[in-house]
Amino acid sequence: MPADITPEHAAYLRERQIGILATSRKDGSPQQSMITYLFDGEHIVISTLKTSAKCRNIRRQPLVSLLVPDGKQQAIVYGTAEVIEGRERDRYIMAIREHQGDPLPADYDLDRFSERLDELGRIIIRIRPERVLG
């Protein structure tokens, strides 16, 4: 677990799946997206398309924030994001599916799965939390 994330923060992030991701547009103005995520104990992982604004913004400027609200409670995560593709992406997407209760069958053709993700333009945004407030 990253040093600045308390056990309470980690539990809060693990127990939720929806947040609002803020990235920076080319002109520096904020761009926000409602997302679903997985917190794996070290990173926040988001599945999206490589053509999305959030992906383009992160490739240009990787500093992001993520608001995870729950009624009157919230956590705000500040961190650095990176775009993950290929087999590492596949591993994260399988973990997300499992977390959402939709795991791949054990005999599923993983090469075909990877090809299909490439066809769809699917990528992973992986955020390394550097500071958590809330």
Q: Give the pLDDT of residue 98.
A: 87
Q: What is the DSSP string of 11-32?
A: HHHHH--EEEEEEE-TTS-EEE
Domain ranges (residues) in the chain? 7-133
Q: What is the pLDDT of residues 23-71, one digit of tens each?
A: 999 999 999 999 999 999 999 999 999 999 999 999 999 999 999 999 9
For residue 99, pLDDT beyond 90: no
CA distance 126 to 57: 14
Which pTM value belongs to this model? 0.90
Rounded to 10°, the helix 110-120/86-99 angle is: 100
Token pair listed for 55? 């992906």
Q: CATH code for 7-133?
A: 2.30.110.10
Q: Give the pLDDT of residue 3.
A: 58
Residue among 29, 36, 81, 30 nearest 55 (CA): 81
Q: Give the pLDDT of residue 106.
A: 78
Q: Give the pLDDT of residue 79.
A: 97
Which of 3-7, 50-54, 96-100 shows the highest mean pLDDT?
50-54
